[in-house]
Each structure stands twice: as structure tokens, then as C-alpha cells.
Structure 1
Amino acid sequence: MPSLNTVHECFKFNGEHYGFRDLKTLALHLIKTEEYYKKDIGEFLYQWQDTSNTIALKTSGSTGTPKTIVIKKQAMVNSAIATGIHFNLQPGSTALLCLPAHYIAGKMMLVRALVLGLEMDSIEPKSNLQIDLEKQYHFTAMVPLQLEKNEDKLKAIKTVIVGGAKVSSALNSKLKELKTTIFETYGMTETVSHIAVKQLNNTTKNNSFKTLPNIKITQDDRGCLIVDAPRVSTAVIITNDVVKLLSENEFEWIGRADTIINSGGIKIFPEQVENLLSGKISNRFFIASEEDETLGERVILIIEGEENDLDISLFNTLDSYSKPKKTYYLSNFVETTSGKIQRKKTLQLLKK
């Protein structure tokens, strides 16, 4: 098992070799730069080389109040090793850091490079990425928006893992033509990045998540996923994600238990309706509910932007219960600092 006080001899950052003793110098140099994303990298590297065995991480707050949790550095090492095994990352494999190191996904890209001996380049983590197409990368992590905005640049990357939000069916269909292999990830800050992945293209296998090594999954009485991952979390994690278990290491994600709509006794998962509408509405949107005297709850559609005449034929793929009974427009959605839509806070804007 790799020690926390060592860095793999093959590790490179932006073309330069760094050992464990060099990390502090590199970290201080990055912290002093004016570019915000380099400061985040520097601050994490500084924490990584200090004497503490733990590190404080902030959750995104997309489904609740953001909070700070303390994770063991060894858990991050264990997670990096599991990812390396699954994706066959070898010492000297090239990697691209294009996510902010302020959050777990970006931090874990750095840990993978340090532990596995990857040659990592970093670029500004924005929507339209400045990827050097003269280079070839074995591995990177992105959010769906980056994937969508940089389709033409993905030829420089062999494997991309995507997380932070669900990949829409519209985007998924575009990925089928790419030679780059794309994997959707399932995980959270509490599980130290992903604990399961789903291959989206270049495969004939079924469309389900498969867990990484040493992960046990079960369900509670709500049908929600329970994750037992002793190498990355000392506590068993009970999620709010309703799933269908296919085997002891495979599941299909259905939706969030805390967003289920009960309309006339019919349970509707907003995420499934959104998936059917993806690509048909140009602006950002989400499905929610409001009180209804007859149905108890009725489905509504919230669209970001100016009000316009919506073509109701786009609802033809939905059953009668799932069709939005009313459409609302808001100029701007409420977001987390990482860009995820905060649904509950956004809905509160309708009451003002």
C-alpha cells in the first residue's frame, strides 16, 4: 500500500518531475499565482504534504445544505488505486486536470496522479477547454457541460469519466460516434469520488452501473442504495438514490427519493421525465411539482430564461400523468458554487 509520505517516481505535473519533498515548493508557487484554479491546486497539494492524516472536504450542496466533512487521506489513496485498477492506468500514463481542485473530483485527479505516477497537465477548468490537440491523454474527468462543449477536442483523450450531474439522453446519443470511451460515474464526496461507473459508448453491454473493487451495495425499504465501502468510508452510506439492483455489483439508477412526485397515486421520478425531454428544450430546465386539489400533486416544468411559446408536441413521449400541467419561467436558476441547480431554492423563487 503506497505511503502518504511518498509520491510515485513517475509523477509529473505540467511536464516536470516532483517528489514528495518538492510538493511544498510547488504548492507555494501555485498559491502565489493570480490564476484561481492554480491557487486551488496549490492549496490542496500543500494540505496533502502536511503531517495530518485527514483532509477537510466540502460537499456540493446540490441536494441539501453544503457541509464540511473530514476524510482520511488513506481513503483517497485507496480510491485512486481502485480507479487505476479499473481503468488500467499505469505509471507514465498521461492525464488532464480540467476540473477545479476546490472539489473532490479535481482533488482526486491530483491524488491519482501522485499515487499512480501519472504525467498530469492542468488547464483552466471552464466550459470551453483549451486542450492541446498535439498531445494525447490516457485519462481525464469532466462534467457533462464540458463534455458537450468540447466534443471536437475529445479525440486527444482515450478515456473520459464524467460526473457531477446525470448525462442526458440527448448528450448520450452524441457520444455514440466518438472513439473516445466515455464512462458516467456514480459517487459523492462522502464516498471519496466515484464508487461505480457506467460505460456510455463503444460497448454492446447493458446500460448499468458497475461497482469498483471492494464495494458492497444493498437497498433499504425505500429502494434506495446503501453503499458499504470500508476502504474509503468507515460508515455505511445510506443514499437517497432509488435504484434497481441487478446483481451484487451492478445497479440501474432510477431517481431521487426526495424528488418523487405522487400524482393521483402514480409515482413519477422527475429525472426520468427530464431524460425524455432532454434535447427538446434548448434552455436549462427541470421537472418539479405543486399542489393539486384532485391529484394531490401535479407535474410542472421550470425553464430558465424568458417566457416563450412552448411547442406542447414535445410532451408526446410522456404519459398523461408525467406531462407538465403548467410551465414556469425564471430568469436565473439558483446554483451551487460548482454550478449544480438547487431545485428547492429555485422553486422558492416562484413564491416571491
Structure 2
Amino acid sequence: MEQLERKTFWNHKTNSSIRIMNQIIHPDFKLSGKSFTYIELLAEALYLKENGQLFEKAIGNFLLDWLNNESFIMVQTSGSTGIPKQIVLQKSAMIASAKATGLYFNLQPKNTALLCLSANYIAGKMMLVRAITLGLHLDTIDPTNAPLSTKKYNFIAMVPMQVQKSLSKLHLVDNVLIGGTKVSYSLSESILKTNCNAFESYGMTETISHIAIKKIGELAFTVLPNVSISVDERSCLVIEALELSLEKITTNDIVEILNATQFILKGRIDNVINSGGIKIFPEEIEEILAKNISVPFFIASKPNEILGEKVILVLEATPFAIDNSVFSELSKYQIPKEILFLKSFVRTETQKINRKKSLEKIV
């Protein structure tokens, strides 16, 4: 009798969990053309984990985490500004983030989307969450530099390198969300020529993907609904979004706040150069130089006995002559005092340039 009661209890608990998860999975959601109940999606996740290609295994692993009974998932940061680490994200916060993105882009059930980013990281995970939550029809492919073919999509998230390789096909996508790293001046100019509805995102793993967006060609980021911004004593951005985090998120990004919903990103405080008592933002210099330098590069510094730090320009190329006219728009403090060349930069798995490790290669 006791065993029967225990079995009945657990059957009831399991059935209740399935009903709850079925409610979380939007009835219009499709993955690679197929609809799923909770049990069916769980089976698909197990199949992908065991039998899928490498990118599909990542999708399967995330779906198994998403469909379990825990209220949170563990996510790894990219490591572009420090050592990669595991952090806890609440599933309810990820759903709230998905809904905010859907509201911003007016995404509707049955809209088409493409996952061309690794599901090992937050950007790829959130494409799956958006699809499951909003009822999108999501296709998945192995992340490549040129993910677009001939199919039209309503929504896609890409990193700048993918956008660069897809310029001739951006007209196939209604809304392109670009993240992972800053969109360069030259890429912005190229995107504007395509008349594509493209946006640059601001966010990090801790903020569950993006919390602010700006249209390509615009200067200021606009925060998503239910996000408040301020700055700390360092002039670094502080984010308050109760649906995403119970605590304020303090960043290392120096910003200029224009109003309650808009800010201009100046650069990371980690990268700020103090040269002769003058604070110099590498990102500002990079924005100017990008108009005239076609190879990957970044601005950094080296110790200097007189200035404290001197500005240097590091290019991913074999040595070549650079005309002084390239620096004509820079102030005397911003002009690089030394130019270094490196055959290949060190990059993270998400293709962000790791400045510190790249410099270490030169040393």
C-alpha cells in the first residue's frame, strides 16, 4: 500500500512538472522544422547530446539543462576581459530577457530565426530561449563565418565577423542583432550600404545577453524595457534590472549617460591609458583609426619613464609602412608613439581579441 501511494505521488509530481514545462514551451515553437512537447523536446535533446554533430551536442546539453527541474543554469563567461568563469543565471530571468527582446523587435509567434552561434555561450543559449518562449521557428547550423544561404529570416543574431562575410545576403534578414564585440566603423559603413535593419547590442553574460541596443549608424545605446542605468564613482555603468538580477550589476565600462534610457559607451576602464596625466580611451582612438586601417588592430600601452604609459598601435599583419595622415584626426596625446605588428592575435572562443594575451605574444 505504501509503495502504491509513493508511486502515485511521484507520478502526480512528474505529471505536474510536465504540464508546467509544456506551458513554458510555446505551442508555436519549432526547432529545425519540428514541433515538440516537453517529453519530445527532452528526447530530442538527449539524441543531439549523444548523436549530434559538435554544435548539436552543445544545443542538446543546453536543452537538457533548460528542461530539468532546477530554477537556474550554469553559464561560462567568454574570458575576453579576464579568466573564464562559471556563473549562475535564473531561468525566470532568461525568459524575461527573451520577452524584452521580443517586445523590442516585435517578434511574433511563427517568425523565423536562425541559430548560427555556439550554444556553449550565452548568445547561442538565448536564441534557443527566445525561440522556446516566443514561439519562433528556429533553424540551427554549424557556426561558420558565413552562415546565411538563400532562406529568409525574421531575426538572427551574429558576431561582427559573420556579418562581414554576409554583407551580400543581409537583405534576406528583417532584423540582425550584432554582438560579441564592438562593431567597427568600417563594418558599420558597409552595413549601412545594404539598407539592412541591423543593430549593435550591449551586454554580457551577467546581464543575460543584451540590456541595450543601438541601430547601426547611431551613437547612443537605448536600454530595453525595465532597465535602469546610472554610473559609479569611476564613471562606469551600473545596471539595475530586477527581472534579470536582484542586485545591481556594476560594469567596468565607462559611459556618458545622456538621459534615463540612453548612454554612449566610451571604453573599458581596464583599457584606459594614463599618459602624462591624460586619460586616453583606446576605443575612441580605434573608432577614428578604423576609417583608414583595414587590418585588425587595437590600441594599447607600454610603460614609459616620462609619460608613465605611452600609446601604442598593434596591428595583425606583417610589417608595412603607415602614412602619418592616418593619424591626422587624433590629438597629440592620442597619436601612437610606437607601432607593433603581430602575425595573429590571440582570440577567445567567441572570436573577441584578447588584448592582454596578444601583447604577451609580442613581449
Trace 1:297-316 onto structure 2 (pairs within 5 A). 297-316=309-328
C-alpha contact (below 8 Å) 2:21/2:38 kept by paired residues: no
- Correspondent of 1:31 among 39, 49, 53: 49
- Correspondent of 1:42 among 46, 57, 60: 60
- Correspondent of 2:252 among 240, 248, 252: 240
Does the residue aligned with 1:167 lie in a helix, a strand or coil? coil
Deviations 1:274-300 (A, max 9, x none): 111115333221100112222221100
Looking at secondary structure, tell me which structure has more helix per residue.
2
Question: What is the CA RMSD across the aligned residues, in angstroms?
Answer: 1.5
Report the equivalent of 1:230: 242
Report the equivalent of 2:206: 190
Give the distance between the partners of 1:4 and 1:188, measured in 2 at CA. 27
Give the distance between the partners of 2:42 and 2:158, measured in 1 at CA. 27
- Distance change (3 Å), C-alpha of 1:297 and 1:3: farther
Offset, 1:305: 2.8
Deviations 1:77-134 (A, max 9, x none): 01001111111111111111111111000000000000000011112211122x231x
Trace 1:308-327 onto structure 2 (pairs within 5 A). 308-327=320-339
C-alpha contact (below 8 Å) 1:96/1:140 kept by paired residues: yes
Deviations 1:316-341 (A, max 9, x none): 22121111111112222222222211
Give the distance between the partners of 1:182 and 1:67, measured in 2 at CA. 30
Identity %: 47
Does the residue aligned with 1:302 lie in a helix, a strand or coil? strand
Unaligned runs of 5+ in 2: 1-18
Q: Structure 2-normalised TM-score?
A: 0.91
Deviations 1:130-158 (A, max 9, x none): x231x321101000111111001111100
Answer with 277-286 or 19-28: which moved more: 277-286
Answer with 289-298 or 148-157: which moved more: 289-298
- Correspondent of 1:163 among 179, 184, 191: 179
Offset, 1:307: 1.9
- Distance change (3 Å), C-alpha of 1:329 and 1:69: same
The residue identity in structure 2 corresponding to 1:132 is S
Report the equivalent of 1:101: 119
Give the distance between the partners of 2:157 and 2:256, measured in 1 at CA. 26
Give the distance between the partners of 2:278 and 2:65, measured in 1 at CA. 49
Give the distance between the partners of 1:18 and 1:305, measured in 2 at CA. 49
Give the distance between the partners of 1:156 and 1:3, measured in 2 at CA. 36
Report the equivalent of 2:170: 154
Give the distance between the partners of 1:282 and 1:220, measured in 2 at CA. 36
Give the distance between the partners of 1:154 and 1:3, measured in 2 at CA. 38
Give the distance between the partners of 1:59 and 1:234, measured in 2 at CA. 19
Deviations 1:18-60 (A, max 9, x none): 1222111111222233521111111111111111111000001
Offset, 1:3: 5.6
Offset, 1:4: 5.1
Offset, 1:207: 2.5
The residue identity in structure 2 corresponding to 1:238 is T
C-alpha contact (below 8 Å) 1:58/1:103 kept by paired residues: yes
- Alignment length (residue pairs): 344
C-alpha contact (below 8 Å) 1:4/1:73 kept by paired residues: no
Unaligned runs of 5+ in 1: none
Give the distance between the partners of 2:52 and 2:242, measured in 1 at CA. 39
Deviations 1:142-186 (A, max 9, x none): 001111110011111000110110011111111112232011001
Report the equivalent of 1:295: 307
- Distance change (3 Å), C-alpha of 1:290 and 1:212: same
Q: Structure 1-normalised TM-score?
A: 0.94
C-alpha contact (below 8 Å) 1:8/1:19 kept by paired residues: no
The residue identity in structure 2 corresponding to 1:236 is K
Give the distance between the partners of 2:347 and 2:228, measured in 1 at CA. 32
- Correspondent of 1:270 among 279, 282, 290: 282
C-alpha contact (below 8 Å) 1:4/1:74 kept by paired residues: no
Trace 1:59-138 onto structure 2 (pairs within 5 A). 59-129=77-147, 131-133=148-150, 135-138=151-154
Matched, 1:19 2:37: yes
The residue identity in structure 1 corresponding to 2:200 is E
Answer with 249-258 or 288-297: which moved more: 288-297
Does the residue aligned with 1:276 lie in a helix, a strand or coil? helix
The residue identity in structure 2 corresponding to 1:280 is N
The residue identity in structure 1 corresponding to 2:244 is V
Report the equivalent of 1:207: 219
Tell which structure's C-alpha radius of gyration is larger.
2
The residue identity in structure 1 corresponding to 2:193 is E
